[in-house]
Structure 1
Amino acid sequence: MKRKSFDKMQCPIARSLERVGEWWTILILRDAMNGLRKFDDFQSNLGISPTILSKRLSSLVEDGFLERHRYGEHPARAEYHLTDRGWAFQSVIASFVAFGNSQFAPEGLATVVVNRETGQSVNVKVVDERTGEPITSPKYYMAPGPVASKKMKAQLAAAPSNGRGMRGEGCGD
C-alpha cells in the first residue's frame, strides 16, 4: 500500500511530516544533534537496519536536513552533517524532550536539554513571543494565513473550537 504524500498540501504540519514524519528520521536527527556523523554510529546507536538507515539518510540529504561528506574511497565512506535546516529542527527535538518528560516519564527525567555554554539544563517551552504565555492555553488556535487557499479558509472557518485551543482536525487539507 502506497503512503499518501502530504507534499502538495498547504498545511505546514503536513509538509513537515512529509519530510520528518517517519520515527527513525526524528531519531536520526536527534543523534546528529548529539554529534553522531557516521553510518555505523547511527546504526549501532539506533539498532536500525542498514537498508532503512540508508533510505532515511538519503531522504534527509535530499530534503536539506543533512549534508553528505565523503571521507573514504575504498570502501566509500561518508559523514553526515546537519545543515541550517537540520539545526532549525532542534527546537522541535527540544519540544519533544519537554513533552515526553512531562507526559511519559513517571520514573523521572532520563534526558534534559542543556545549554552548552552554561552547562545548565533549560526549561523548554513554546510561548507567544508577544506575551510570553505558553501555547498550551485554550485561547490559541490555528487560523488561515495570508496565502491560505479558499478550501483551507473554508475548512478552518467551519471547524468548531474543541474547547482546548486548536480548532478543527488539522490545517484544512
Structure 2
Amino acid sequence: MKWKELEEEPCSMARTIAVIGDRWTLLILRECFLRTRRFEGFQTALGITRHLLAERLKKLVRQGILRRVPYQESPKRHEYILTQKGLDLYPIMMAIVHWGDTHMVDERGRPLLHQHRNCGKNFDPVMVCSECGEPILAKEVHTHPGPGARGPLAQKEMEAPARKPKARRKVA
C-alpha cells in the first residue's frame, strides 16, 4: 500500500495516519497543544526547515485540523489555531505521551507533568469504555465490521481473543 492511498482505505486508523502519521506533523501538533501558534515559534521549537514546516501546516489547514488566522497586516502574518477537529486529537497525543512517559524516560523521569486544572492534580491519561466506564484493555476488546467496512474487512471478523484471568495460586 502506498502512502497516498492510505486516506482511501476503509480503515479509520489508516485514514488518520494519512493525516497525522509522520513525525513532523505529530511534533507540530505537540507544539500546538503547548500553545505555539506562529510559524517562527514552530520553527524555533522544532528546528524544522521552513519548506517542510510550511508544507505540514498547509496540510493541517487543508484537513481542517488547524485554521490560519491573520495577526499582522504589514507584512501579512498568520497564527495557526487548533479547530475542534484538531482539539479532538488531544486524547491521541496524550496516549502517545503516556506511552513515552511509561517506556521511554531516562533516570531523570518525565520531561513534562500534566496537571488537571479542575482538581489541581498531576494525572496520567486513561482510556475507559464510554458505556460502562471500565478501563479498556486490548485483550478485552472484540472488533467486527461496521457500516463503513469494505473489501476484506467487511468479510472477516477481527478478534483479539478475550482471555479470562488466570486464577492466582496462593503461595504458602
TM-score by length of 2: 0.83
Contact 1:97 1:113 in 2 (8 A): no
**2:170 is matched with which residue?**
none
Change in Cα spacing, 1:137 to 1:59, as seen in structure 2 (3 Å) is: closer
**1:147 is matched with which residue?**
148
Higher RCO (CA < 8 A, seq sep 6+): 1
Structure showing greater radius of gyration is 2
Contact 2:65 2:84 in 1 (8 A): yes
Q: Report the Cα offset of residue 106 of structure 1.
A: 4.3
**1:111 is matched with which residue?**
112
CA–CA distance in 2 between the matches of 1:68 and 1:81?
7
Letter in 2 for 1:124: P
CA–CA distance in 1 between the matches of 2:71 and 2:160?
53
CA–CA distance in 1 between the matches of 2:103 and 2:38?
32
**2:69 is matched with which residue?**
69
Contact 2:143 2:159 in 1 (8 A): no
**1:98 is matched with which residue?**
98
Q: Report the Cα offset of residue 137 of structure 1.
A: 4.1
Would you say 1:130 and 2:131 are equivalent positions? Answer: yes
**1:81 is matched with which residue?**
81
Q: Report the Cα offset of residue 160 of structure 1.
A: 6.9
Would you say 1:31 and 2:31 are equivalent positions? Answer: yes
CA–CA distance in 1 between the matches of 2:120 and 2:159?
45
Contact 1:113 1:121 in 2 (8 A): yes
Q: Report the Cα offset of residue 76 of structure 1.
A: 2.5
TM-score by length of 1: 0.82
CA–CA distance in 1 between the matches of 2:75 and 2:56?
20
CA–CA distance in 2 between the matches of 1:79 and 1:4?
28
Change in Cα spacing, 1:61 to 1:39, as seen in structure 2 (3 Å) is: same
Letter in 1 for 2:132: T
Of stretches 121-130 and 79-88 in structure 1, the one that deviates more from structure 2 is: 121-130
Identity between Structure 1 and Structure 2 (%): 32
Contact 2:139 2:161 in 1 (8 A): no
CA–CA distance in 2 between the matches of 1:137 and 1:104?
21
CA–CA distance in 2 between the matches of 1:132 and 1:32?
29
**For structure 2, which runs of at least 5 residues remain unmatched after alignment?**
164-172
CA–CA distance in 1 between the matches of 2:51 and 2:133?
44
Residues 23-50 of structure 1, C-alpha deviations (whole Å, 9 max, x = no match): 1111111111111110000100111111
**For structure 1, which runs of at least 5 residues remain unmatched after alignment?**
165-173
Change in Cα spacing, 1:113 to 1:27, as seen in structure 2 (3 Å) is: same
Q: Report the Cα offset of residue 118 of structure 1.
A: 3.4
**1:169 is matched with which residue?**
none
Q: CA RMSD in A?
A: 2.2
